[in-house]
Amino acid sequence: MKLAVVVLSLAAAVLALGSPAAAKAAKEDPKECEVCVKVLEDVEALLDSDEKSSKVSIEEALGTHCARKDLSAKEKKMCYNMEPIKKSVSHPFSLRMPKKKVCQRLKKDNPDICEIKFPVKVAKEAKPEDVSKLRVKQLKQILNDRGVECKGCVEKADFVKKVLDTQHLEF
């Protein structure tokens, strides 16, 4: 009897780990929606505690935030994407939904919302071992942010070498 309970418990645990929900949670990108979340946190910082449930105040704060001159290029792009859907932003925001959930909901209106990510930064004194741990996609993005083309780069080692050769360039 006890053996049957143990076997059933183990079977349930294996099924739970192999479920699509568990696979999706393990596959989720930690940097997904990072720019969107930062913009929404900055907008929240502009609001008083009693204004956080007012849709009009949220829309005005979003406009104020996006009008700032010191925004990064990625934040400006996020503001450009959020401007036409201000009402879609303000409704879940006013209900105090978590920022990441708001961004994932906005993704339905504009799929680019969660695709905007901050650039990968590499320290100037980065060692080849550190750079070689990055994915090829990240290496390509670093080179693109630096304005460098990697002609003839086929292998990962080619991209790593080019990133190291162009370390002196700023983003």
Neighbours of 104 (CB within 10 A): 17
In the predicted structure, residue 130 carries a pLDDT above the cut 70: yes
Quote the pLDDT of residue 167: 82
Distance CA 86, CA 92 (A): 11
Q: CB–CB of 106/88 below 8 Å?
A: yes
- Averaged pLDDT for residues 46-69: 91
Please, are residues 89 and 58 in contact by the beta-carbon 8 Å criterion? yes
- 17-42 tens-digit pLDDT: 554 544 444 456 667 888 999 999 99
- The pLDDT assigned to 1 comes to 52
Asked whether the predicted pLDDT for residue 66 surpasses 70, the reply is yes
The pLDDT score that the predictor gives to residue 116 is 85
pLDDT per position as a tens digit, 94-112? 999 999 999 999 988 888 8
| 1 vs 23, higher pLDDT | 1
Q: Is the pLDDT of residue 6 over 50?
A: no
Residue-level pLDDT at 58: 92
